[in-house]
Amino acid sequence: MIRVVLALFCLGAGVFLAVSLYRLLWRCRQQTVAGLVRRPARVAGSGVGWTRSRPSASLELLCELGTVRVDPTAVHIAGRSLQTGERVTLECVEAAGSFQVVRIRPGIWPELRWLRWPRMAAIVLCVTALLVGQQGPAIGSIPVQVQRTHRAACTARGQTTSISQLRALQRRIRPLHRKMGKVQLGDWLSQHREPGQTFEQYLRADPVRIAGQRRAIYVQPIGSFGGKGSPVGRVGGANNRRRVLDLTVDFMSRYFCLEVRVARPLPLSLVPAHARRRHPTWGMRQILSPYVLDHLLKPRLPPQAAAYIGFTTSDLWPGPGWNFVFGQASLRDRVGVWSIHRNGDVDGGREAFNLALLRTIKTAVHETGHMFSMHHCTAYECNMCGSNSQIESDRRPIPLCPECLAKLVWASGCDPRARYRDLQAFFAARGMAPQQQAYARLASAVGGD
């Protein structure tokens, strides 16, 4: 692929330089060192024209400045004859807006105007080669090996929920959700002006949905999850980090009502030096999240993936002007990444583990929601709200608001009540009472005991 791109670029650049050199030489030929200007012309008039044996009283020439009459005895004419219609070159001395012909040469070195098109085509070829080279390998060109699969009890089976049913669902759960409160200093919305996205706007945007063979979420571990000095725990924390990943996979399956497949981990060495940095103030090592999306995940996007999300213990940053990001995802390309780096100490006991787990699953489903074309929520306190800090993220509830739940059900085709019951059971098994109670109330609101 790289060789093809390089060959296209070299071909385009070569054509462009050749045509440009020809045009430059042509222009230089029109202006002589002695101050003579050369102009193309054509012999006008009728008859056989001018010859040395039969000179004419005057010659009529057509050039870009109009019709010019010259005295053949007053100019030097190279060659022995000039025929009517013949193309010639006039060597003139120009001054004060007029010119005097001093020499006439048969033939011209024409500027081939059609060469403009090859030059334009060469420019297009070079730009195309550069764009293709930046995109890297084609989507799905690198196979993904699946290690294990998790399928929740509420996994959707392709049923379609009508828009009228979803609006009725919104009305039933709306009393259980809080509208967005006053934006605090430093919050996401205090620094990012976002209009939000209603369910109706979501429908008009032709969102990503479960379709055809794309009926699974792929989770791609990136880098090591163990060892001394790892970002999220002490020595021996590798088992707990793997447990966080396993529980997050379980939760994602229940949350999106889809099968979740865990791929074989990718080594962090796949991220080159130019996509890494040490934070200039805090000193921790970070990897560039757009590089992960474009160069690690897009080329590996499986054809069966409704979404393909990377999971890493490394801190992420999205580019210049940013300190860090909890995760990042594409609204259209179905790829995303999230990090456990800032979620707390998974080895600090049950309470600390549950807090780190909650933060992890909130980020995971938030970023995966983006991959189903869901924008940040600005209407309710909701897990799809943007967060500028861990404090702000902790304030947000994990259940989706009425607008965002309707989007998820429309995209996945799940049964809302079965989904709520499955999520309630997840938190009950972990001893996370506030989240369990929240989903129990929502399950009751949509119908049931």
Active site members:
367
3-state secondary structure of 353: helix
Measured in whole angstroms, the distance separating CA 437 from the mean position of its chain's CA atoms is: 40
Sign of CA dihedral 338, 226, 265, 5: positive
CB 91 within 8 A of CB 85: no
3-state secondary structure of 70: strand
DSSP secondary structure string for all residues of 184-230 = PTTSHHHHS------HHHHHHT-----BTTB-EEEEEEES---STT-
3-state secondary structure of 164: helix
Question: Hey, what are 174's tokens?
Answer: 């709306």
CB neighbour list of residue 158: distance below 8 Å, 6 or more residues apart: 210, 413
Q: Where are the beta strands (DSSP E) in 53-143?
A: 59-63, 66-70, 76-77, 81-82, 87-95, 98-106
